[in-house]
Structure 1
Amino acid sequence: MRIAIIGAGAAGLVTAARLAERGLTAEIFEASDRLGAGAASWLAGGMLAPYCEAEDAGPGIIAPGLAGIDWWSTNVPRVERGGTLVVAPWRDRSDLARFARRTRGHERIGSDRIAMLEPDLAGRFSEALFFPEEAHLDPRLALESLAARVSRSGGPVRFGASVDAATLDHDFVVDCRGFAAAEETPALRPVRGEMLILKSDDLSLSRPVRLLHPRWPVYVVPRGDGLFMVGATVVESDDRRGVTARGMVDLLNAAYALHPAFAEAEIVETGSGLRPAFPDNLPRVSRHGRVVTVNGLYRHGFLLSPAVAEEAVTHILGEGLKAAS
């Protein structure tokens, strides 16, 4: 079978890797001129946090999310399985209690255990939720690793190639364009996210930390070498501008609320992107003839891409076997 994938974000590259597991190659077409340019995946936090995300997305996300952690751990380097820490300022401890009621898979811990897990947070929070089964990865390293793997398997990644399914003569086309496919997908909506990368040599974290805050809910993800990704605002908007002044102030205030050392941190990078989302904020895989569409990964791109890619591959293999028989 000749298979094409449109889009070299997390969904497209994971689908190509899933096909390679079956001995199949795919030709990937990416409109941008380089890996990650303009892709929501490139700006992601890289948190593999099914229990935390279930607070908003529902419990159905947990099983495929946990399977996704296993898949990433097997297929890309530097997947850290150290769990997630969720904290809140003392005055907002009711938010922590509410988060605990809406999630599972966590331990309620006190200040001594917080200090053991994250020594630099010692004395800053009296209680927290610890989700030991969760993990995180570096999204950019993961995408680069998958792109190299796909190329080694014989599937080229063609950059600067703006195509649509109608222009391709492959046996199957997997459309992973995200919000770029909005015109053909009326139910799809954009959810704008903003992020910062800060550098601080005065702070060390071993795992993602989520700060519950009524104005600035935020997560901080360590990237190594003193780098921290701080994200992410959630705005129902198709505004493609860079990070706004309000967004930056909110993210910086939240980081400072987590630890004052961030006040002296260097701002290394800012970024904003549009996450593709359906009304229920859950992804969909559908097939129309030879075209399989994967979209709506919202903020669960890395967490759920192994599951949705497997579903896309099942569509292709099922139809291919029917044709062969």
Structure 2
Amino acid sequence: MISVLGAGVAGFCAATALAERGLPVEVIEPEDAPDPASRLAGGMLAPFCEGETAPETVVQMGLGAADWWEAHGADVTRRGTLVVAPARDAAELGRFARATRGHDWADPGDLEPDLAGRFARGLFFSSEAHMDPRAALARLRDRLVARGVRFHPGPAAGRIVDCTGMAAAAHLPDLRAVRGEMLALYAPDVAITRTVRLLHPRFPCYIVPRGGGHYMVGATMVESARPGPVTARAVMELLSAAYAVHPGFAEAEVTETGAGLRPAFADNIPAIRRTGGRIHLNGMYRHGFLAAPALAEALAEELQQELAPCVSS
């Protein structure tokens, strides 16, 4: 038996990849476990945009993410990513273009009529996608249950694959917390159909459509392990950035706020670690939905080869 600890994106992807190879799997969900940080994610499947600050390793991990999620029941919207900047920050677009690939210059108004006349030009990453992360995780859970995978609070009964994020810090001394904050808005007067990233020297943001006038706006990145609710500063900055994209957000209803601690290694690259008798899939940083499928498949391949004699016997 393989006991997967954690019910976030890393845990569900790992359990799925293992179960699909016919390996015996259970998922451990302690009753007092905090909500995983992945529940607050934007759900952007945007490897090329992440390449602005992430190394090529992360970009490569994410190239197949949209296909993986779609193959596993997620409702993936493949409308690309539009990157814009206010006129005073137009130089940011050139910097972003030089730091990334997979884009073309575009008129934002041609792609999103609601943005017509607001931005002179933008970068369009046509191959990128987005999805609702909570719905995608719910689909994975349903598929695992249908396969007979047991979910329970513990104790673990087998070899441990630890996907518990910051809860694994005692086993991973180089793991650090990066606080992220987000807002969910209902803005029926705004009609945006794809992820829009706003570049800004101090507080860049992204807006992800959820359908029916609902949008997720995120996300701050603070080198802090402080738990707790969203700060007033984060709310003001995110709302200001959303308003800079479209004035209709000024009349939006704030339907949710959230703050979570992203687990990250020193190099910000998600990884598989083996230490203390456990296998860790951790360090997702801001790349969970992008990188977890590739890492989960790599982990499952390794364990399938290691356990083949035991399974066959």
TM norm structure 1: 0.92
Q: 2:175 & 2:278 partners in 1: Cα distance?
A: 18
Deviates more, 1:132-141 or 1:18-27: 18-27
Residue equivalent to 2:142: 148
Residue equivalent to 2:187: 200
SS of the aligned residue for 1:56 comes to: coil
Residue equivalent to 1:182: 169
* Offset from partner CA, 1:68-108 (integer Å, 9 cap, x none): 11101111231011110000001101011000000000001
Residue equivalent to 1:23: 22
Q: 2:186 & 2:28 partners in 1: Cα distance?
A: 34
User: Structure 2 residue aligned with 1:64, among 58, 61, 65?
Assistant: 61
SS of the aligned residue for 2:52 comes to: helix
Query: Does residue 276 of structure 1 match 2:263?
Result: yes
Deviation at 1:318, TM superposition (A): 2.1
Could you say if the C-alpha distance between residues 32 and 44 of structure 1 is closer, same or farther in structure 2, counting changes exceeding 3 Å? farther
- C-alpha contact 2:171 2:276 (8 A) present in aligned 1: no
Residue equivalent to 1:168: 156
- C-alpha contact 1:48 1:134 (8 A) present in aligned 2: yes
Q: 1:126 & 1:58 partners in 2: Cα distance?
A: 29
Q: Structure 2: state its 5+ residue gaps.
A: none
Residue equivalent to 1:42: 39
Q: 1:226 & 1:41 partners in 2: Cα distance?
A: 22
Deviation at 1:31, TM superposition (A): 2.4
Structure 1 residue identity aligned to 2:25: A
Equivalent pairs, count: 312
Q: 1:64 & 1:256 partners in 2: Cα distance?
A: 33
- RMSD over aligned Cα atoms: 1.6
Residue equivalent to 1:212: 199
SS of the aligned residue for 2:209 comes to: strand
Structure 2 residue identity aligned to 1:28: V
Structure 2 residue identity aligned to 1:70: D
- C-alpha contact 2:49 2:100 (8 A) present in aligned 1: yes
Query: Does residue 14 of structure 1 match 2:26?
Result: no
Could you say if the C-alpha distance between residues 19 and 239 of structure 1 is closer, same or farther in structure 2, counting changes exceeding 3 Å? same
Query: Does residue 115 of structure 1 match 2:106?
Result: no
Residue equivalent to 1:95: 92
Residue equivalent to 2:222: 235
Q: 2:276 & 2:222 partners in 1: Cα distance?
A: 35
SS of the aligned residue for 1:184 comes to: coil
Q: 1:119 & 1:194 partners in 2: Cα distance?
A: 29
Q: 1:242 & 1:176 partners in 2: Cα distance?
A: 24
- C-alpha contact 2:171 2:275 (8 A) present in aligned 1: no
Q: 1:88 & 1:74 partners in 2: Cα distance?
A: 34
Deviation at 1:64, TM superposition (A): 2.0
Q: 1:229 & 1:118 partners in 2: Cα distance?
A: 17
- C-alpha contact 2:4 2:27 (8 A) present in aligned 1: yes
- C-alpha contact 1:50 1:303 (8 A) present in aligned 2: yes
Q: 2:275 & 2:205 partners in 1: Cα distance?
A: 39
Instruction: Provide runs of 4+ in structure 1 moved above 6 Å.
Output: none
SS of the aligned residue for 2:174 comes to: coil
Residue equivalent to 1:138: 132
- Percent sequence identity over matched residues? 53
Residue equivalent to 1:3: 2
Q: 1:97 & 1:265 partners in 2: Cα distance?
A: 31
TM norm structure 2: 0.96
Q: Structure 1: state its 5+ residue gaps.
A: none
